[in-house]
Amino acid sequence: MDMNELLDAARAAGEPRPVDRSKIGMGGVDPLGLRQINFGLMDRVLPDLNNVASHIRPYTLMAWAWRRVRHILERGRRQSAQPEEMRDFVDRIEAIYAWSQFLIDPKADIPGAQAMRPMLDAQRYRFGGEEWEARRNMRRYSTGFISPLNYGPSLRTMGWLIPVEGATGIFQPDPALEAVLDAFEKRFEAELDHEAFNRFGSVSVKRVDAERWGKLWTIDKPRAAEAKAMFARLGGERAAPARQKGVALIQAAYRDLADEEATYEDIRVRMGDRADAWSSAIDRPQAADEWRAVQIRQLFRLALEGLFYWTIGALLPGPRSTGQLAQAFIDALDETSLANSAETWILASKDTANPVEHLRSLQKVLRDQKQLPAAIVAALALCLREAPNQSHPFENPDRLPLSRAKREADSWRELSPAGFVGRVLEIWVMAQHAYWSVGRGLADARNRGKTILRLRIVMDEGGWTLTPGTTRQGNPPEPTPDRLETATNLLVESGRL
């Protein structure tokens, strides 16, 4: 209800009346507004990927489903079908596939396990009617392959599906994939007489059929043609230039490790290493500098969100001033004597370690109020040392680019360590938090969204204090997944790693 509606309701009221108690939910996964820059940097190394779409088979399946739409139209001699009929058919194929995979493996690595659970005990399911339509519509935007959260964006950007001009939401497979789709279909061609694969509209599928199909098109066994097509689009000749370089960096790091059992965590570290840490420095691709920048920004964001988390913990007993918070932070450092100024303390760091190692160290102590400050200081010291002088075009100033942080930190170099921490708390934490919390809250209100309290810390007469409803520290922040696991898994399935 907006202000005008409230005023109208007040004028019409003849007497006082009780109202429902306001329902306020706690929220805010990005309390300082720092995460978007992470994604911008990742797009310079591994664009068009996300942290879910890590298998080849769903790409093939969705391309095949749209080819099957064409098959139905041609076989039935229909010149066209309603767009919703075609989308419904493709959604059905995708849902049958997910159902079949969860039937043979309840822990199958595809999205939507919880949403599909009611189907797992059904002996037959009718893909039609209100229940199916509700499930279908939910999957389109959340747990289905075509969802923007899952395989949907990369199906298009990597060229598996091509939009049909003038038909919103209607696609066709890339013609170059015909042989790939033939190879995929060959495995279960004896099953293609079932009505689920041959008609639009409502159809029923038995559990035993879905379970049998699940064994024929498993998620983890792409055919050679599928693997070849994926690599061409992931890091080969059909891939975006930036992703070609990012994939080449992954492969180079794996070769340099010379360890067949290396995990993607090992690869992440080597990708972020300086040249002198590589077994062969001349084999370190230029893209490694971009990847290290991703990890530095990741570390900076986690350090500040860790400081925000520490501050909530420090305020649980009651309000504190900036000076009191800064001194409590300094007192928690395991240092017998601190330098006189920030210049000879945090800004004098000679640390050249791998930022991934600092990330791991920071993660280990996020729940430890006493050890966390030292890890935050070490992280910020490395980030400020490696901060660029200029921001990237996508780095909005209000998201605290590292270049801005470096300029501000340099202006505080004469301050004592406690004074420096006080500035960080007030400007990089409190001000950022208030700015983004209020901004997001107003956006929610304008869109008539949920009532969510994002602001956790406010200034009161006694100093900084927690907002009503903040009674516990909550869960510590986590690093933003950086798509590496997705990329390495696709490379493994492609036979290129």
Residue 45 predicted with pLDDT over 50: yes
Residues in contact with 455: Cβ distance below 8 Å, sequence separation at least 6, in sequence order = 433, 434, 437, 438, 441, 467
Residue 484 is predicted with a pLDDT of: 95
Helix (H) or strand (E) holding 458: strand 457-460
pLDDT tens per residue across span 51-94: 999 999 999 999 999 999 999 998 876 667 899 999 999 999 99
Residue 441 is predicted with a pLDDT of: 57
pTM for this structure?
Answer: 0.88
Residues in the chain: 497
* Residue whose C-alpha is closest to residue 436's, from 24, 4, 37, 22: 37
pLDDT tens per residue across span 286-295: 999 999 999 9
Residue 84 is predicted with a pLDDT of: 94
What percent of the chain is modeled with pLDDT above 90? 75
Place of tokens 């869109």: 447
Residues in contact with 19: Cβ distance below 8 Å, sequence separation at least 6, in sequence order = none
* Residue whose C-alpha is closest to residue 312's, from 349, 269, 361, 366: 366
pLDDT tens per residue across span 160-195: 999 998 888 899 999 999 999 999 999 999 999 999
Residues in contact with 331: Cβ distance below 8 Å, sequence separation at least 6, in sequence order = none
Residues in contact with 48: Cβ distance below 8 Å, sequence separation at least 6, in sequence order = 153, 154, 157, 158, 240, 243
Residue 30 predicted with pLDDT over 90: no
What is the C-alpha to C-alpha distance for residues 65 and 80, in angstroms, rounded to an integer?
16
